[in-house]
Chains A and B, each alone.
Chain A
Amino acid sequence: MRPVAASVSVTRFPVGPSVGVSRRSWRLRRRVPLYLMLLPALIGLALFHYYPMYGIIVAFKDYQPLIGFAESPWVGWYNFRLMFSTPDIWEILRNTVVIAVGKIIVSQVASVSFALLLNEVAVLWYRRLIQSLSYVLHFLSWVILGGILLDLLAMRGLVNNTLVNVGLPRIPFLNSPALFQPTMILTDVFKNFGYGAIIYLAALTSIDPNLYEAAAVDGANRRQLLRHITLPGIAPTIVLLAALSLGSVLNAGFEQVLVMSNPLVLSTGDIIDTYVYRVGLLGAKYGIGTAMGLLKGLVSLVLITLSYYLAERLANYRIF
């Protein structure tokens, strides 16, 4: 199809707008391919992004699978009232925010620290090696890493066996409600700290080496170099990522929690996404599930918009 389109435009309009056809219609015809190019994405967006958005009306309906969501009867705010009368709802919201914010803070600190430590290593191959090792886990799925961690952190797993061998008590990482959230935060940071450090390392390498030399000539020691050159150099990146992370305050990590949680830790491990999945989808309470998802979607929309606004104001960042 492509060569045909090409030959058409070449033979009909060999030297641009001046031959026979008006400039206006030449431009119009020349634009046709542009619209054709956008067509696949438009169809994809319509079917898999905007059509589901239309499905949000399920939140205001008593959805009956047999008649579909357009025909199901309206019930107004019933699903929302039902949702807020669930005793667990505040617990679920709190779990979500605590896990998500915990991850944001701990992972930022871990990534920046790791990047700074790595930056102090003068031996290039050593630096590369450590960096390569640090982000290998990022590319594994939560099924794989979760499967490995469930085995390692189990009561009879390698970690606890090691603890016993050195005379410490076993720790119920995955079965104690009090420890479940810290376990989620730390294992997530474990998976992603190396990957998160890449952007800081890129920022570190873009600091002008002349600054370091000049400061060293003036007698600055390593701590002073860190404080007055390195940290100010990556401060904009830190601010940018902090601003952008605002958008994920309600993302506690669905796949991770789904893989690693169990009924024992429901009180601290149930987050919005797992609730929607368990109650809404598995329990077929589509109305409540959609209402909950809509609430999350709307709050996230506000937060993400705010985060992009802040990123632009504070760090001159634009996605387009």
Chain B
Amino acid sequence: MIRARSWQSTLFDVFNLGFLALLGLLCLLPLIHTFAVSLSSKGPSMAGLVSFWPVGFTTYNYEHLLVASQFQRSFVISLVRVLAGTALTLLVVVLTAYPLSLAEGFPGQRVFKWILIFAMLFSGGLIPWFLAIRSLGLYDTMGALVLPGVVQMFSIIIMLNFFRQLPQEMVEAAAIDGASHWNILFRIYLPLSLPCLATLGLFSAVGHWNAWFDGMVLMKRVANYPLQTYLQTVVIGRSFAEIISMVDTRELAEKLSTRSLQAAMIIVAMIPILMLYPFLQRYFLTGLTLGSVKG
């Protein structure tokens, strides 16, 4: 189709492309700046001379993270939490969504749905939540980071809606052939819902990696902090005691700038997310639209 283009239209296109390029750049610049600071040496970094290119290039800050024991410990805690939390969450999602998705129904199905929905709409608030977890004996344990979030209501609903779209004839045929519900779920439903499961798994993993408030409230010792909570104390709380414990005082005076060290920590904490990013992009569109509007 040949479209006569007015000069206004072309002008708009030029401005639009330019504006969007600026917007895209704007989203990237804070990260570039942080990266540049993390690679800059103490003087320029502290004096605020670094913009988007390292000044007095050094990898000293990253080398330092290689020997910073608490940083590494927290990194590992976060990794364990991501793996355990995501695995458990997905297991519960699948197990819960299947019975709730069955069209044939069973006594208690409706009641359970409402129990689930009500928990999604209403919560007791921060303090009862904290007191409950403490009274369950989970305070200052890995369980406190993983178990309270295991029942993800929204993910269950997305999965449930996905299961419902699967052809029910298949289930009936399998049931007539003698397949139990376990078989139907794990041999028929599950292989068909891998993309959906991958989406929910990625979201859960990102959520666990990024969570920090629960670690701050539920962990007593810094030694048990997940990475983001540890970053909170060092970068946001500027806990001087924590920074001092990381470094030699003489080093701090000579070449280490706390600002560049913090930037390096931020960059390292971002790496897992950036690694997952291509997958996130591929899957989250499905994830977003799956659970939402149904015709």
Contact B131 A143 (CB under 8 A): no
B24 CB contact (under 8 Å) in A56, A129, A161, A317: A129
Q: Is the interface of B mostly helix, strand, loop or mixed?
A: helix
Q: A41-B95, A141-B228, A149-B30 are in contact. Are A301 and B178 (CB under 8 A)?
A: no
Contact B128 A40 (CB under 8 A): no
Complex Cα gap A35–B251 (Å): 61
Of the candidate stretches B64-72, B231-239, B242-250, the one touching chain A is B231-239
Q: A34-B102, A136-B27, A290-B128 are in contact. Are A259 and B157 (CB under 8 A)?
A: no
Complex Cα gap A146–B209 (Å): 16
Closest CB of chain B to A253's CB: distance in Å?
Answer: 12
B residues in contact with A83, CB < 8 Å: none
B128 CB contact (under 8 Å) in A58, A121, A156, A258: A58
Contact A120 B128 (CB under 8 A): no
Query: Counting CB contacts under 8 A, is B57 at the interface?
Result: no
B33 CB contact (under 8 Å) in A34, A152, A222: A152
Query: Counting CB contacts under 8 A, is A24 at the interface?
Result: no
B residues in contact with A31, CB < 8 Å: 106
Query: Counting CB contacts under 8 A, is A2 at the interface?
Result: yes
A residues in contact with B112, CB < 8 Å: 38, 42
Contact A258 B213 (CB under 8 A): yes
CB contacts between A and B, total, < 8 Å: 285
B residues in contact with A232, CB < 8 Å: none
B residues in contact with A121, CB < 8 Å: 16-17, 20
A:285-320 near B, CB below 8 Å:
286, 289-290, 292-294, 296-298, 300-301, 304-305, 315-320
Contact B135 A68 (CB under 8 A): yes
A interface with B by C-beta (< 8 Å)? 2, 5-6, 8-10, 13-16, 30-31, 33-35, 37-38, 40-42, 44-45, 47-56, 58, 68-69, 114, 117-118, 120-122, 126, 129-130, 132-134, 136-137, 139-152, 156-158, 161, 190, 194, 198-199, 202, 213, 216, 221-222, 240, 254-255, 258-259, 273, 276-277, 280-281, 286, 289-290, 292-294, 296-298, 300-301, 304-305, 315-320
Task: Mark each residue of chain B from 213 to 226: 1 if its CB lies under 8 Å from any CB of chain A, else 0.
Answer: 10001000000000
Contact B285 A2 (CB under 8 A): no
Contact A55 B20 (CB under 8 A): no
Closest CB of chain B to A221's CB: distance in Å?
Answer: 7
Query: Counting CB contacts under 8 A, is B255 at the interface?
Result: no
Complex Cα gap A19–B108 (Å): 28
24 inter-chain pairs at a CB distance below 8 angstroms, sorted by A residue, are A9-B183, A34-B106, A44-B150, A48-B147, A58-B127, A130-B24, A133-B28, A136-B31, A139-B276, A140-B210, A143-B231, A148-B33, A157-B48, A158-B51, A198-B284, A255-B213, A258-B213, A259-B232, A289-B125, A290-B128, A293-B125, A293-B127, A297-B123, A316-B293
Contact A289 B232 (CB under 8 A): no
B residues in contact with A136, CB < 8 Å: 27-28, 31, 274, 277
